[in-house]
Amino acid sequence: GNIGIGFAIPSNLASKVKSDIITRGKVVRGWLGVNIRDITPEFAKMYDLKTDEGVLIREVVQDGPAEAAGVQAGDVVVALDGKKIRNVTELSTKVGSTEPDKTVKLEVLRDGKTKEIAVKLGEFPEDENLLAGGSSSRGGAQKVSSLGFEVKDLNDNLRRAYDFSSSDEGVVITSISESSIAARAGLQEGDLIVKINRDFVENLGDFQKVLDTLEPGDAVAFFLKRGDRKLVVDFIVPKV
């Protein structure tokens, strides 16, 4: 994922970089405050996209420009200021070459519908470790052997253990195999699963119902709450 959007400096930004260094003594880049990745054909199918072009918002940085504008994890960016966005490189380049405090217009797909969101860019921060998060340990669960983790209904004990509010609903990952596809994709113990693909998950029954529909080779996206963070982790269901 690319939390910074513009953390690398493409060659076509060389003149801006040179100008920034001369006038400001440092490189100044626009910043959205999101973690992103390219759309693959499998995920295009899962999200009902017509093509595999665009950029998936995997996470929105808390208190960042995108969050303030209403961008959500799971949104797919397809255009910026009316120009088509096909991949991470294009979005990174366009945002990174735009001045901080300038407002850009994102066109995103959310739940099958197109939305336009105006975002006032921030300045790319020197501290890139903005998404660090921890997890604590609790046990007991329902095993999901094919994906390599265990989940449990969110109860009062788990709310206290993982600092979730009384209004939160979903199932909590209480243990996960470090070698599993889920862990390698980014799921962690303590994550609250609130949605899988387009189906909301309030309890173990909902969770199992969605998993029963998945087959090896299918794309699956987990919409999570991790502390104060909301993010999406997706991967291809492995063959058993």
User: Per-residue pLDDT tens for 26-43?
Assistant: 557 899 999 999 998 888
Residue 114 has pLDDT above 80, yes or no: yes
Task: Please give the average per-residue pLDDT across 80-87, as a whole number.
Answer: 95
**Nearest to residue 118, comparing CAs of 141, 140, 102, 95?**
102
Q: How many CA atoms lie within 13 A of 173 on its CB side?
A: 28
Cα 61 from Cα 68, distance rounded (Å): 10
Query: Which secondary structure element, helix H or strand E, spans residue 181, and what is its range?
Result: helix 181-185
Residue 108 has pLDDT above 90, yes or no: yes
3-state DSSP percent of the chain in helix, strand and coil, to 5: 20, 30, 45
Any residues with CB less than 8 A from the CB of 13 and at least 6 apart, and which? 93, 96, 97
Across the chain, mean pLDDT equals 83
- List every span in the chain annotated with CATH 2.30.42.10: 11-123, 142-236
Cα 191 from Cα 132, distance rounded (Å): 14
Contact 105, 116 (CB under 8 A): yes
Helix, strand or coil, per DSSP, at residue 172:
strand
pLDDT of residue 240: 66
29 Cα distance to chain centroid: 21
The Cβ of residue 111 has, within 10 Å, a number of other Cβ atoms equal to: 11
The Cβ of residue 144 has, within 10 Å, a number of other Cβ atoms equal to: 18
In one-letter notation, the amino acid at residue 162 is Y
Contact 218, 239 (CB under 8 A): no
User: Per-residue pLDDT tens for 118-173?
Assistant: 999 999 876 554 433 333 334 344 545 578 999 999 999 999 999 999 999 999 99
Residue 236 has pLDDT above 70, yes or no: yes
- Model pTM greater than 0.85? no
Contact 75, 108 (CB under 8 A): yes
Can you identify the CATH homologous superfamily of domain 11-123?
A: PDZ domain (2.30.42.10)
For the chain, report the end-to-end CA distance as a whole number of angstroms.
27
User: Per-residue pLDDT tens for 176-206?
Assistant: 999 999 999 999 999 999 999 989 999 999 9
pLDDT of residue 48: 78
Top CATH class, 142-236: mainly beta
